[in-house]
Structure 1
Amino acid sequence: MENTEPTRKEINALIGATLLEFGASWCGYCKAAQPTISAELTQFPSIRRIKIEDGKGRRLGRSFHVKLWPTLIFMKDGVELKRLVREIDAGELKSALALITTDQATAE
């Protein structure tokens, strides 16, 4: 996971589909979710994935009210459209990824 954490302002300014993945390198739930996340993301190459090492005192995680890991936040053009927390189901993940890649998502 990256050590350089983007600011909330930078995240809100991102154009297009973005997956924010909050977690910790030592987190068992995060490690268990990696194969599912990576496999599903191969079907959505246009989605920007930003992995964020979260923890006490980390501002970006607090600004998104992250409480459990992993927390996946699905954004389009800087707007959160969906969130998955803790145990990541492949079907729900695929549905959320599809949501942020469709043009319909911005019309809702």
Structure 2
Amino acid sequence: MSKPYSVEQPERSAVDAMDGIVALEFGADWCGHCKAAQPLIQAALGAYPSVQHIKVEDGSGRKLGRSLRVKLWPTVVVLRQGQELARVVRPADEEEVRRALATAD
């Protein structure tokens, strides 16, 4: 797996204020679905080097995930200035993630 999911979460207002495209990935290091999706997500992000990728550990009571209505892991939410452009839940292939990232072009 690439870098672990961060326990530290940015505030939603900080995420909304970020310039450019942000791919927020929600999950947990112990999650089998998250582990399986890592190569797909990383490969898709490789085609979009300007996208800021933030991996956030999610769980019950985690405010950032709740503010974006995350229910399953992994979930990748693509944002521009706080506006959701696309979302991929439990991606099955790299192309699914690439299509989500392409919405930001």
TM-score (norm 2): 0.90
% same residue: 50
1:59-108 deviation line (CA, Å, top 9, x unaligned): 111111111000110111221011111234211211111211x1xxxxxx
Matched, 1:2 2:6: yes
- Conserved in 2, the CA contact under 8 Å of 1:15 and 1:78? no
User: Does structure 1 retain, via aligned residues, the 8 Å contact 2:86–2:101?
Assistant: no
- Per the alignment, residue 39 of structure 2 pairs with 35
Superposition pairs of residues 1-108 of structure 1, within 5 angstroms:
1-100=5-104, 102=105
How far, CA to CA, are the matches of 1:88 and 1:64 in structure 2? 21
Q: Which has the higher helix share?
A: 1
Which amino acid in 2 is paired with 1:18?
Answer: V
- Please report the TM-score for the alignment, with normalisation by the length of structure 1: 0.88
The alignment covers a number of residue pairs equal to 101
Q: Where does residue 106 of structure 1 map in the other structure?
A: none
Q: Which runs of 4+ in 1 moved over 4 A?
A: none
Tell me if structure 2 keeps the 8 A contact 1:29–1:87: no
The structure with the largest alpha-carbon Rg is 1
Any gaps of 5 or more consecutive residues in structure 1?
Answer: 103-108
> RMSD of aligned C-alpha atoms?
1.0
Query: Which ranges in structure 2 are unaligned for 5 or more consecutive residues?
Result: none
